[in-house]
């Protein structure tokens, strides 16, 4: 193998890996639970979409997909994304947290913004949510999954933000 062969080989190996289609990463660090264990029936029964929930260990929510912010709720408790591969992803922090009217939530992006996996979307104060009598359980849903295939959960238990949660296909 010549000098140029080594350089060319290294360049080939450093190529960016293609992003897998219809994969949703965890937007928060915490403990993943099946959606049916969520205390709110609208989420538990899959009325708002398929997915999983994470009981967060900290108050940062990161983009689970590359895409565009389709909906940034002014209360900061939820955000909707349209992924580059066609998924409508909803991240909803807490149960009944809309009643907090934004107290303890801070959006870091706005509607129409382009986001990449791992980008900070919003922060929240778990202590304020709990003090208001609400759960911090964070739902990570795909609302148009019927068009994308069957949900396959890719992890269980403790998860890190950015870890693969599930895929559709």
H-helix or E-strand containing 3? helix 3-13
> Where do the domains of the chain lie?
27-168
Tell me the C-alpha distance between 127 and 151, whole Å. 32
Tell me the C-alpha distance between 25 and 163, whole Å. 5
Half-sphere exposure of 121 (CA within 13 A, CB side): 38
Looking at the domain 27-168, which fold is it? Answer: Glucose Permease (Domain IIA) (2.70.70)
Tell me the C-alpha distance between 69 and 129, whole Å. 24
pLDDT digits (tens, 9 = 90+) for 123-155: 999 999 999 999 999 999 999 998 898 999 999
The residue among 69, 114, 106, 104 whose CA lies nearest residue 89 is: 69
92 is catalytic: yes
Helix runs in 24-86, H state only: 41-44
Tell me the C-alpha distance between 81 and 71, whole Å. 7
Q: Output the pTM of the full model.
A: 0.87
Tell me the C-alpha distance between 152 and 169, whole Å. 8
DSSP state of 87: -
pLDDT digits (tens, 9 = 90+) for 50-84: 999 999 999 999 999 999 999 999 999 999 999 99
Band (13; pLDDT cuts 50, 70, 90) = very low
Question: 77 with 94: CB under 8 angstroms?
Answer: yes
Q: Which two tokens stand for residue 52?
A: 């999983």
């Amino acid at each position: 193998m010549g000098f140029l062969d080594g350089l060319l080989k290294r360049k080939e190996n450093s190529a960016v890996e293609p992003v897998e289609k219809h994969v949703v990463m965890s937007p928060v660090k915490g403990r993943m639970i099946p959606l049916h264990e969520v205390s709110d029936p609208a989420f538990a029964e899959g009325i708002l979409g398929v997915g999983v929930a994470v009981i967060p260990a900290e108050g940062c929510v990161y983009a689970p997909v590359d895409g565009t912010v389709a909906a940034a709720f002014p209360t900061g408790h939820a955000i909707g994304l349209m992924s580059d591969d066609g998924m409508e992803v909803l991240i909803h922090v807490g149960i009944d947290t809309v009643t907090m009217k934004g107290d303890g939530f801070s959006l870091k992006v706005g509607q129409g913004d382009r986001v990449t996996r791992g980008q900070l979307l919003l922060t929240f104060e778990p202590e304020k949510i709990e003090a208001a009598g609400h759960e911090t359980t964070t739902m990570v849903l795909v609302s148009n999954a019927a068009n994308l295939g069957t949900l396959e959960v890719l992890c269980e238990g403790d998860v890190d933000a950015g870890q693969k949660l599930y895929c559709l296909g």
